[in-house]
């Protein structure tokens, strides 16, 4: 028997995918904490379930290790993003298995009109891009509304608005 690392479902030996959650079962840890998988995890694709390390981390002071920090203005909270790659911003809801990488639920995301999968931020070779994921209330950067699914570059000091939630972008070199 193989146990699915994501949902704990048991599959027969030789199974390549979990019937319950659809995850690929070929993932092998190669010692560095990174995962080696088949076609599912090309660097430009996102793996929402598998990066819980982002989901609840936030603090009331900026961290100097972060590549970029998101500052949730109305709640005076800092969310660090430590690694390159893509993270999804959104909110979790009751009875839903999908948890975005950065869960804004505790910042009254629902009341602020944040969708469950609202936007994605991609960090890659010093470039920061944000795309709206077809959210209900849209994403703006410095009050300019983004087209869904079309990436927009971010720089230090930009203000992102998810629904009505305002978030400031602080990049590493500009941090104190």
Partner 1 sequence: MTSKPSYYEILGLPKEATQEEVRRAYRELSLSQHPDINRSPGANTQFLNLKEAFETLSNPARRKEYDQRLTQESDAPILEYTLYSRTRLPDLKEPQLLYAYLDYAVSEKYASQVTPTLNYCLVIDRSTSMQGERLDTVKAAAIELIRQSKESDVLSLVTFSDRAEVVLPAKRYPDHRSLEAQVHFIQASGGTEIYQGLEAGFQQIQWNQNRSLVNHLILITDGHTYGDNLACIDLANRAASQGVCITALGIGSDWNDEFLDTLTQITGGNTYYIAKTSDLRKLMQEKFASLNQVFAERVSLKLKPAQRVALGGVYRLQPEATPLNVSEQINLGSILRDTNLSILLEFIVQPVDEDLYRREIANGTVSLILPSDPSSVHRIPVTLSRVVGSLDKKEKPPQEIIQALTHITLYRMQERARQEASAGKIDEASSRLQRLATQFLSIGEKDLAQTALMEAERIQQTSMLSPEGEKAIKYATRSLMLPSKGKEERQY
Q: Give the residue with the Cβ less far from partner 1, 95 or 176.
A: 95
Nearer to partner 1, 117 or 167 (CB): 117
- Nearer to partner 1 by Cβ, of 7 and 82: the residue is 7
DSSP secondary-structure letter at 148? Answer: B
Least separation in angstroms between residue 35's CB and partner 1 is 13
Radius of gyration of the chain (CA): 17
**Shortest Cβ distance from residue 88 to partner 1 (Å)?**
8
Task: Please report, as ranges, the residues that interact with partner 1 according to CB under 8 A.
Answer: 1, 7, 11-24, 26, 28, 38-41, 45-49, 95-98, 116-117, 133-134, 149
- Three-state SS for 115-168 is CCCCEEEEEECCEEEEEECCCCCCEEECCEECCECCCEECCCCCEEEECCEEEE
Q: Give me the least distance between CB of 61 and partner 1, in Å please.
A: 33
* Residue 126: HSE in the Cβ half-sphere, 13 Å Cα cutoff: 1
* Nearest distance from C-beta of residue 116 to partner 1, angstroms: 7
Q: What is the DSSP string of 139-152?
A: EEETTEEPPBT--E
Between 15 and 67, whose beta carbon lies closer to partner 1?
15
> Which residue lies nearer to partner 1 by CB, 14 or 60?
14
Record the tokens describing residue 86, joined without a space.
């893509």
End-to-end, the C-alpha distance of the chain in Å comes to: 51
Shortest distance (Å) from residue 102 CB to partner 1: 15
């Amino acid at each position: 028997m193989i146990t699915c690392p994501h949902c704990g479902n048991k599959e027969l030996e030789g199974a390549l995918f979990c019937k319950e959650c659809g995850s690929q079962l070929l993932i092998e840890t190669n010692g560095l904490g990174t995962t080696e998988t088949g076609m599912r995890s090309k660097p430009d694709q996102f793996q929402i379930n598998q990066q819980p390390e982002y989901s609840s981390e936030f603090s009331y002071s900026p961290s100097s290790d972060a590549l970029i920090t998101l500052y949730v203005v109305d709640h005076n909270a800092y969310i660090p993003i430590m690694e390159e790659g893509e993270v999804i911003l959104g909110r979790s809801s009751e009875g839903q298995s999908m948890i975005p990488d950065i869960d804004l639920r505790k910042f009254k995301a629902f009341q602020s009109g944040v969708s469950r999968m609202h936007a994605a931020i991609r960090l890659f070779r010093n470039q920061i891009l944000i795309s709206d994921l077809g959210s209900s209330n849209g994403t703006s950067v410095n009050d300019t509304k983004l087209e869904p699914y079309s990436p927009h570059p971010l720089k230090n000091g930009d203000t992102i608005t998810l629904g009505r939630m305002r978030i400031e972008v602080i990049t590493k070199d500009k941090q104190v």
